[in-house]
Amino acid sequence: MHRGAALGLLRAAAVVFGVVTLTFVLLHLAPGDPMQRLLGPAATAGQVAAARHAMALDRPLAVQYVDWLGRALRGDFGASIATGRSVASLLTQAWPATAILVLLSLALTYLFGIAIGAYQANTRHRVADGLLTVGTVALNAMPGYWLGLVLVMFFTYRLRLLPAFGASGLDADFLSVSGRMVDRLRHLALPLLTLTLIGIGGTARFVRAAMRESRDAPYLVVARAKGVGATRMVIRHQLRNALVPVVTLLGLSLPALFSGTVFVESIFAWPGVGSLMVQGVQARDYPVVLAAATISAVLVVVGNLLAELLVGVVDPRSRRTHDDR
């Protein structure tokens, strides 16, 4: 294996290990006993102690961690304390909803963010640029949970256009195939809009800065002199040279996107990994939270590695520089 690739994999493994270890420690240090919550306030101390012993929660913390880590490395995340179901089956059931939300949000964020940023970088209308700047900065600064609640108030309670909670209506099983699809899209609209609006703000600001730096570059002056059309010049020349920082931003934005998904899914009761994690934290369901945190950390690390590979494809000079290290 190439030395640079080996070091990258080691760094990735160290990040995942750090996230998992910190999550494990914080979960067990947080107040609240999962067995007490599971058995209810009427349970006696003896019943709680017996339940803790049956779930092996009375062993030393270091022993529990080593045991969990060994099983997790084999792909066994155990069973949920709250439901008794396999954690792997819970994640398998929840992951498609999160994947749909994340991938669609990522695509729409970069589609509209790049378009808005490119327009701002090349427009000569200061008023339009100023208004878009105020809008993108405001979106970038908004907390996801606050924006989600505002959208619910406007689209659900005021206009009564879109549902606010869940992934489908109560009558979804009685609808036709096209009806179920429309129902699913209507439930997806608000969580997707929340994530996309927040992402557009940061992406547009980043693209605007990257493309404005090259607006008066010599190669663009030559292209204008040759009569190259404005649209072609922006797409084939200006945007292409701005792709390196944009691709880097893609890797950096993945952690924020996954963390934002947790809150957005919780607000809209979207049945994804984020909602599963929040429910697990509330119930002190250690296996569920640890498994969700592990998978999220792995996906973020993989996303960053893919971003590095894409930077090498977009700009071969960066790949040569990386290889020389």
The pLDDT, as a whole number, for residue 314 is: 61
Query: What's the mean per-residue pLDDT of the chain?
Result: 82
Instruction: List pLDDT tens digits, range 104-113.
Output: 998 999 899 9
Band of residue 229 on the pLDDT scale cut at 50, 70, 90: low
pTM of the model: 0.80
Band of residue 134 on the pLDDT scale cut at 50, 70, 90: very high
- N- to C-terminal Cα distance for the chain? 15
Q: Of 212, 204, 305, 301, nearest to 246 (Cα)?
A: 204
Band of residue 235 on the pLDDT scale cut at 50, 70, 90: low
Show the tokens assigned to 247.
């691709």
More confident residue, 310 or 278: 278
pLDDT surpassing 70 at residue 319: no
| Biggest distance spanned by C-alpha atoms of the chain | 85
Dihedral angle computed from the Cα positions of residues 51, 56, 60 and 62, in that order, rounded to the nearest 10 degrees: -140
Band of residue 154 on the pLDDT scale cut at 50, 70, 90: very high
Mean pLDDT of 115-134: 87
Burial 153-181 (b: 16+ CB within 10 A, else e): eebeeeeeebbbeebbbeeeeeeeeeebe
Q: What is the DSSP letter of 2?
A: -
Band of residue 194 on the pLDDT scale cut at 50, 70, 90: very high
pLDDT surpassing 60 at residue 324: no
Torsion 24-29-35-38 (CA) sign: negative
Instruction: List pLDDT tens digits, range 82-95.
Output: 888 899 999 999 98
The pLDDT, as a whole number, for residue 4 is: 60
Q: What is the DSSP letter of 152?
A: I
Contact 301, 286 (CB under 8 A): no
Instruction: List pLDDT tens digits, range 41-77.
Output: 888 888 888 888 888 888 888 999 999 999 888 888 8
Residue the block writes with tokens 């659900």? 156
